[in-house]
Amino acid sequence: MSGNKIVVYKEPGVVEVEDHDVPTLEIPPEVAKATGMSRKADHGVILRTVSTNICGSDQHMVRGRTTAPPGQTLGHEITGEIVEKGSDVQFLDVGDICTVPFNIACGRCRNCREGHTGVCLNVNPGRAGSAYGYVDMGGWEGGQAQYVLVPFADFNLIKFPSREQALAKILDLTMLSDIFPTGYHGAYTAGVTTGSTVYVAGAGPVGLAAAYSAQLLGAAVVIVGDLNADRLAQARSFGCETVDVSQDATLEDQVAEILGINEVDCAVDAVGFEATGHGAGAGEAPAAVLNSIMSITRAAGRLGIPGLYVTGDPGAPDDDAKEGTLKVRLGLGWAKSHSFTTGQCPVLRYNRGLMMSILHDKAHIADAVNATVIPLDEAPQGYRDFDQGAAKKYVLDPNGLIPKAA
């Protein structure tokens, strides 16, 4: 290990691939200082990255829509091979290929013990919850890189049973680090079950993963809404109905054309705070999706909200939205007795079951999200294409380990 190429945010709209030092078995100094933990991470491993993905959450930072500083390393969707392990790692070995939850979790605090690994109390001095390569998440280096440190490895990592099978199915398995569990979490917490009618707002990768997950959970009809024609076509490719929210016809009317009634059993917000209002020529409206899913979800229905909302958005359209204060019609949700689930997906709650579904050919998430492999050096172009609305999920291959057949 002579060096470590890694993707770095430089300024709004600009990322570059830089040469950094190879990570060592040490946690970030700010985490150690705040928690009293030893910097030496005997509980951690160093991974050689097999695959790492560009996420819509990364794109928020790259657009300048968060408080991410220049120099912020990127990447929280990681699958890798262990090349070094600490002395306290008991159940994993060098050579194992593992999936990495994007949540960094200690496995020891109250929240982790209760299964809330998305809001671990010990790995981020600033707030509950942490992630690799993300603003305000504790200073952990990003995984859009050749090598990455994973702390508390025995708790966080899941080893794939077969190296050959893992590499053969890597384009599906790489989605276990974030978007497949996140989409599934959105559908599951929305109460999707056998025979449900479901509306998914957003046909980006998380929205497509949520729609695909709704099908796995037994939904009768899954309707996906977006204003990007290519992404809507991708949703139709695996059996979803679609609505174009840039049209002047109301969302209720478009849903009624499909279902015969203008409401669904449950809904998922896979858009988040950079939402656009409904209709031709509509501008940015941060609460638009939250309000629309309340309007079309039946009374006593449930809403899953995996779409990202932030507490600091310098590019927001008004001062309230800059601090995450949105004009949400909570009275409507209250009157309809809606249930809401928000926040980071606790990936460890779902990723083993979803892994088994992939390994046994019950789930083909890579096809649903149009997984597209590019070299690490092409990450800047991948970010630009993704920002322009490409109907693809970009998978980076930092070390040339993804088989050509995949």
On whether both 310 and 352 belong to a single domain, the answer is no
Distance CA 234, CA 154 (A): 37
Domain match, 26 and 164 both: yes
Domain boundary among 320, 342, 364: 342
The total number of residues written for the chain in this structure: 406
- 199 and 149 inside one domain: no
Q: How far apart are CA 327 and CA 79, in angstroms?
A: 38
* Within-domain flag for 405: no
Same domain, 134 and 54: yes
CA 160, CA 166: separation in Å to the nearest integer?
A: 6
Return d(Cα 203, Cα 276) in angstroms, integer: 13
Count of structural domains within the chain: 2
pTM for this model (two decimals): 0.97
- The count of C-alpha atoms lying within 13 angstroms of the C-alpha of 62, restricted to the half-sphere facing its C-beta, is 27
The two tokens of residue 19 are 């040469």
Pairing of strands 45-53, 78-85: antiparallel
CA distance 243 to 232: 8
Asked whether the beta carbons of 50 and 11 are under 8 A apart, the reply is: no
Looking at residue 338, its pLDDT comes to 98
Domain assignment of residue 403, yes or no: no
Q: What pLDDT does residue 279 have?
A: 86
Cross-strand bridge partners of residue 372:
394
Give the domain range for residue 288: 180-342
Last residue of a domain, one of 300, 324, 342: 342
- pLDDT, one tens digit per residue, over 354-399 is 999 999 999 999 999 999 999 999 999 999 999 999 999 999 999 9
89 in the same domain as 72: yes
Report if residue 170 sits inside a domain.
yes
CATH of residue 363: 3.90.180.10
pLDDT in tens, 25-70: 999 999 999 989 999 999 999 999 999 999 999 999 999 999 999 9
Asked whether residue 149 falls in the same domain as residue 246, the answer is: no
State residue 204's pLDDT score: 97
> Would you place residue 2 in the very low, low, confident or very high pLDDT band (cuts 50, 70, 90)?
confident
Question: Once rounded to an integer, what is the mean pLDDT over residues 152-162?
Answer: 98
The whole-angstrom separation of Cα 393 and Cα 402 is 15
